[in-house]
Structure 1
Amino acid sequence: MAIDDLLDEHEQSERVRGWLRQNGAGLFAGVVLGLGVIAGWQWWQARQLGQQAQAGLQYAAVVSSLKANNLGQAKAVSSALASTGTDYAALAAMQVARAQIDGEDRDGAIATLRGVQTKNPAITAVVNARLARLLLDAGKPKDALALLGDKPDGAAAIEARGDALFALGRTDEARTAYTQAMSKLDVATPQRRLVELKLIQVGGSPARPETRG
């Protein structure tokens, strides 16, 4: 190896050592920070999984309590579960509300469903449809309509909106809502037949499905 090459290598190594002396602390801190972020993410994931598992157990406890006709215990567990903000919390509240309806405690069921907090749009649609139905039963069509809004999601919610409009004497809008609800229902479902009857009641003509010869 030539002397010039040895000098170049020595000069390069000295430059590396100098750079490390100047930047070594920052480099080490960056590595530590990166490892800390990874560890923090893994801890957060494990914590989330643990919370979901615990929420699942609590939901099962709610169902078991209701099967044992212990509504009070089910309500207590459901209330504790509500703070988790999981889908299990919303589903547990819906189970409690169903039991309250079966026990003819409509106002209790309304309060329970009003307390549901979820970021899941599918669950929100079901909760709103059920709550709107209870409000209609309580003679509060305006409250039901305000809850559902102008563009509810799902056939049940749209049908409930039609019922609220009909109760308020807004038959043209009710006819539109029932028509929209029918478009989301399979021709074989019993619910579609009920919506057809409601549509006829407000002066509509249900479109018959095409038959193939």
Structure 2
Amino acid sequence: MAIDDLLDEHEQSERVLAWLRSNGAGLIGGIIVGLALILGWQWWGGKQAASDMRAGDDYQAMLKSLEAKDIKKAQSQAAALHDTPYAPLAVLDLAKAQVEAGQRDAAISTLRTAQSPNPVLEQVIKRRLARLLIDSGKAGEALKVLGNEDDPATLEVRGDAQVALGKREDARKSYTEVLAKLDVASPGRRLVELKLTDVGGSAAKPEARI
């Protein structure tokens, strides 16, 4: 190997060593930070999993309280679940038990506090609240709770609220829209047809969907 080549290699190695001396602390720091982030993420994931497991156990405990007809205890347990994924389910179960126990106003209060990031569960909560409001003579408030959603289940409850308010024409429109969205074989179709007939409408013969 030529002397020039040896000098070039020596010079390059010296440059690398000089660069490492200047930037080594930063590299090590970056590696440490990266490891800390990875370990921190794993720790947080493990902590979150453990928290979810505890919440699941707490939810099961609440259900046992409901089975034992201890609504007061279940109410306290449901409140403790408010920051967990089980919160909307706990609220729905609690409200159902309250209604069955003749505590309609308490069930309304329970459902008013319910929130869910899941849009499907959110609509279930709103429909149940709206039905209870209609039953308690607050059909106008029920309409506000339902908002502008136009899925069949919500439209049916909206029609019920409109009937309670004496708005039969609006109810006919709502029920007609429900039937237009329901499949021919839907188990709830016959009931909606009866509701439509009751407000002076007539259900068109549905066309089978292929």
- TM-score, scaled relative to structure 2: 0.90
Supply the AA of the counterpart residue of 2:201: G
Shift of 1:76: 1.6
**Aligned position for 2:45:** 45
**Partner of 1:156 in structure 2?**
153
Q: Please show how residues 44-193 of structure 1 align to structure 2 within 5 Å.
A: 44-82=44-82, 84-86=83-85, 88-152=86-150, 154-193=151-190
Distance of 2:6 and 2:173 partners within structure 1: 88
Distance 1:40 1:107, change over 3 A: same
Q: Whole-Å Cα distance in 2 between the matches of residues 136 and 78 of structure 1?
A: 25
Amino acid at match of 1:70: D
Contact map agreement 1:85 1:118 (CA 8 A) in 2: no
Distance (Å, rounded) in 2 between the aligned partners of 1:195 and 1:90: 28
For each residue in 1:28-75, what CA deviation from the matched residue of structure 2 results, as whole angstroms up to 9, or x when unmatched?
221111111111211221122112111111111111111122222211
**Alpha-carbon spacing, 1:207–1:15, altered in 2? closer, same or farther (3 Å):** farther
Opposite residue 116 of structure 1, the aligned amino acid is: A
Are the aligned partners of 1:85 and 1:117 in contact in 2 as well (CA < 8 Å)?
Answer: no
Q: Counterparts of 1:126 and 1:97 in 2: how far apart (Å)?
A: 12
Q: Deviation string for 1:179-208 (max 9, x for gaps)?
A: 232344343344221111112233333232
Task: Report how far residue 101 of structure 1 moved.
Answer: 0.4
8 Å CA contact retained: 2:127, 2:157: yes
TM-score (norm 1): 0.89
Say which SS state the counterpart of residue 80 (structure 2) adopts. helix
Aligned residues with identical type, % of pairs: 53
Segment drifting more, 114-123 vs 174-183: 174-183
Work out whether residues 184 and 208 of structure 2, in 8 Å CA contact, stay in contact via their aligned partners in 1: no
Contiguous gaps of at least 5 residues in structure 1:
none
* Matched residues, number: 209
